[in-house]
């Protein structure tokens, strides 16, 4: 049975904290899942830099993107959402994700012009999801 926990509305990066460390390994050398490492890096960076204040960092087990390790879901009310994956769990990935997320939070619909994408998110987009009650045209 799934239990839902309410969180504040607003732009957020939801990290899968049970994701594999890589395509080859479930855990890192310390026995920690990649998703847990990425979630910790996202939280630490978000807390240390006011540029990321408009983006909440949240985590949950399994985003069901198991074929694409270290996944995150970017979402906000009334905006297109995105699932990104195949990251190396660490500060570089966290910074690229949060840099994109800050631009996403500032956008009207969730669309960030490609020229503004940080290099670290290019090639990591897995899905685009319409906001409830809307379709993308």
pLDDT in tens, 56-103: 999 999 999 999 999 999 999 999 999 999 999 999 999 999 999 999
pLDDT in tens, 41-53: 999 999 999 999 9
Residues 6+ apart with CB under 8 A from 126: 65, 68, 71, 82, 83, 84, 85
Q: Which domains does the chain carry?
A: 12-129 (3.40.30)
Q: Quote the pTM value.
A: 0.95
The Cα-based distances of 56 to 31, 122, 123, 136 in angstroms read: 27, 22, 23, 24
């Amino acid at each position: 049975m799934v239990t839902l926990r309410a969180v504040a509305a607003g732009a957020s990066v939801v990290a899968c904290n049970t994701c594999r460390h890589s395509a080859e390994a479930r855990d890192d050398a310390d026995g920690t899942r990649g998703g847990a490492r990425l979630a910790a890096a996202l939280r630490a960076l978000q807390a240390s830099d006011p540029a990321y204040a408009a983006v909440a960092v949240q985590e949950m087990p399994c985003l069901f993107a198991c074929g694409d390790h270290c996944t995150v879901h970017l979402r906000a009310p009334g905006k297109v959402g995105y699932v990104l994956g195949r990251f190396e769990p660490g500060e570089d990935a966290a910074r690229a994700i949060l840099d994109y997320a800050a631009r996403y939070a500032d956008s009207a619909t969730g669309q960030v012009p490609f020229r503004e994408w940080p290099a670290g998110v290019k090639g990591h987009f897995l899905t685009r999801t319409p906001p409830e009650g809307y379709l993308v045209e």
